[in-house]
Amino acid sequence: MSSAAEARAAPERLIPGDLDTALDLPDWRQRVSWPVSLDAANATSIAQMRRALAWAGALDDRLLRDAALLALPNILGYGRAIVLAAMALRSMKASGARLASRAPEIAYLQTGAGEPPARREPILPSPPIRFEFARRMMRCHSWTGTARLLPAMLAPQAVAVSHNSLLRSEAARARRRVSFRHAESFLNTARRRSAGVSAGPSATDMARSLARAISEGAAPDSVFSRRACILLEAMALPHLEKAVRDLSALRSVALPEEIWSGSGGLYAPRAVGLEVLRRGGRVVRFDHGTPRGFVETAEVNALLEFCVSTDFFLATGGAAEICRANSDDTLQLGDREIAIHGARGDSAFAQVPARRSGRPARSPKRVVYAPTMLMGFRRGLPVQPPDAVYLDWQMRVAEMLGDLPVELVCQPHPEGLLRGRPHPLEKLATTVRGNFERQVEQADIFI
């Protein structure tokens, strides 16, 4: 029986546990609920990340420690979902509710039957790179201009291996020659040279010890806790094996002494940066999206950026100061200090006028509502509600805004589960797709 059929068979007590199961039900909005509060979910997830960082820091072998740091963003993205699902199932069992979901991890947590599923795919996969050399030239030209392009490409002092708007603006201002080469290019070269190399038994031992560390808090002393630990080990193993193989392979590849990149959470720039650090080089990362430090999760900053960098740039000096104040030095692995810098603004927002006094007042006011993405079977930190609950919340907000005397425009996140699919918000208000920055200038109120 499908998860949606189960829900129809037991309408009073069955809760949809994923977006597709919910959307298959005509009355899904009357069913959505979740037994684990966001406070409890965040506290559990923060403790889980701290244990993961402590586990990685206790690894004596440099290759294995770096492999752990390389793999942990993917492992914890899925690992949070497993642990929080185990907590929810334990609460539902006590209350008599049942969870309907298409996620194979949920089925395993409920029954323990069959082989434990293991998600191998990266959370943020690298897109294919076509016309690589031409793209390298175009990326480099975006900050050098024509006059500085050839010197930067022929005799670089630093190499950008990914990019974002903040990196581009700082590279344009820099008095240094910064070229560009995709991190995936370095990694693919390494993989070709070491095809068939095994990760060895060490990854198996790592997966087992990591699973024990990060399964704490997953419905303790219950069958769900034991099954969660099995799922975590099965999921972590292929990610750790891949990380060990890739970092071993990168040791044979010529790399720049200094690299620049966007977020350290992306796999290929993270891998290249870890190897540059091992050689004593400099790794400069540039903030993307939410300014690090504005959300009080020092653990996320430590794992994604600070543990894999020597320098980290935020858009402004004020943002950098907030980030420093909200950092936790106890989470930094090794004896290397991270230098946090403030830049001179993010060019992505340069087109937004600082004042709008010259524009006539508009009635009704234009309100842009831009909720974040629906994530599937993974959980970020800070933890947001499960997809079905969060979509219901988005629709409630849009409905309330639609009752006001305003011009409402909904701008769903361009990524996530509903990318390329109709969004339920389209039934409630004018809905546009694409980058939300394009709507900022036109909005009187941005939510």
- 26-30, 242-246, 308-312: segment of lowest average pLDDT: 26-30
Provide mean pLDDT across the span 59-83. 96
- 104-113, 115-124, 189-198: segment of lowest average pLDDT: 189-198
- 187 inside domain: no
- 151 inside domain: yes
Q: How far apart are CA 214 and CA 234, in angstroms?
A: 13
Place 222 in a pLDDT band, splitting at 50, 70 and 90.
confident
Residues 168, 267, single domain; the answer is: yes
Q: What is the pTM of this model?
A: 0.91
Q: How far apart are CA 40 and CA 131, in angstroms?
A: 48
pLDDT of residue 182: 97
User: Per the structure, how many domains does the chain have?
Assistant: 3
Tens-place pLDDT, residues 314-344: 999 999 999 999 888 888 877 678 999 999 8
Residues 40, 116, single domain; the answer is: yes
Question: DSSP string of 300-345?
Answer: HHHHHTGGG-SEEEESSHHHHHHHHHT--GGG--SSPPPEEEE-S-
- 311 inside domain: yes
Place 278 in a pLDDT band, splitting at 50, 70 and 90.
very high
Higher pLDDT among residues 263 and 355, named by residue: 263
Distance spanning both ends of the chain, measured CA to CA: 41
Residues 40, 113, single domain; the answer is: yes
Residues 111, 203, single domain; the answer is: yes
Residues 24, 91, single domain; the answer is: yes
Residues 176, 288, single domain; the answer is: yes
The overall average pLDDT reported for the chain is: 90
Provide mean pLDDT across the span 181-207. 88
pLDDT of residue 317: 92
Provide mean pLDDT across the span 77-81. 96
Residues 313, 167, single domain; the answer is: yes
- What is the domain extent for residue 408? 365-446
Question: DSSP string of 374-435?
Answer: --SS---SSPPPPHHHHHHHHHHHHHHHHTSSSEEEE---SSSTTTTS--GGGGTSEE--S-
| Domain closes at, from 246, 263, 285 | 246
Place 441 in a pLDDT band, splitting at 50, 70 and 90.
confident
Tens-place pLDDT, residues 84-100: 999 999 999 988 999 99
- 142 inside domain: yes
Question: DSSP string of 65-121?
Answer: HHHHHHHHHHHHHHHHHHHHHHHHHHHHHHHT-EEE---HHHHHHHH--SSPP---S
Q: Which helix (H) or strand (E) holds 171?
A: helix 165-173
